[in-house]
Amino acid sequence: MKFELDQTDRHLTIRSYGAREIVVGDQRLTRPVVLCGASIDIDLLPPTLEQLGPAHIERLCALGVDLLLIGTGSRQVFLDPALTAPLLSRGIGCESMDTAAACRSYNVLIAESRSVAAALFMLTPTS
């Protein structure tokens, strides 16, 4: 029986994360980012979690995933239920956790071929 390494570029994985950057493939990202499949979107999120609003959530709903992980920075922040209601009403699961946990969870779920996106805020926001 012959085995071959599955080298697909369909999904990006997070190589590392630090206080002010997230490394995806060969890209060092220094601002909030959304990962979904093989795409990286640095324009979808506001600069800080506090500025996340209904318009951003609507754009996240349009990603077409079953689960959205929101990395809230250096600590877990529970989002206002009214803010996440549009996700839940469309049957999209939403989990908020600190960004380090979101990075690890995203990689595990992608490896399992799950339909997931990650909206990641930096561990330490830039000033």
Q: Return d(Cα 20, Cα 18) in angstroms, integer.
A: 6
In the block, residue with structure tokens 């009403």? 89
Each residue's pLDDT expressed in tens, for the chain with a length of 127 residues: 444 444 445 689 999 999 999 999 889 999 999 999 899 999 999 999 999 999 999 999 999 999 999 999 999 999 999 999 999 999 999 999 999 999 999 999 999 999 999 999 999 866 5
75: buried, middle or exposed (CB in 10 Å: 19+, 13-18, 0-12)?
Answer: exposed
pLDDT in the model for residue 48: 95
CB 104 within 8 A of CB 95: no
Domain boundaries, the chain: 14-120
pTM, entire model: 0.89
Cα distances from 13 to residues 19, 35, 58, 60, in angstroms, run 18, 9, 24, 19
* CATH ID of 14-120, from 3.40.50.300, 3.10.129.10, 2.40.160.20, 3.40.1230.10: 3.40.1230.10
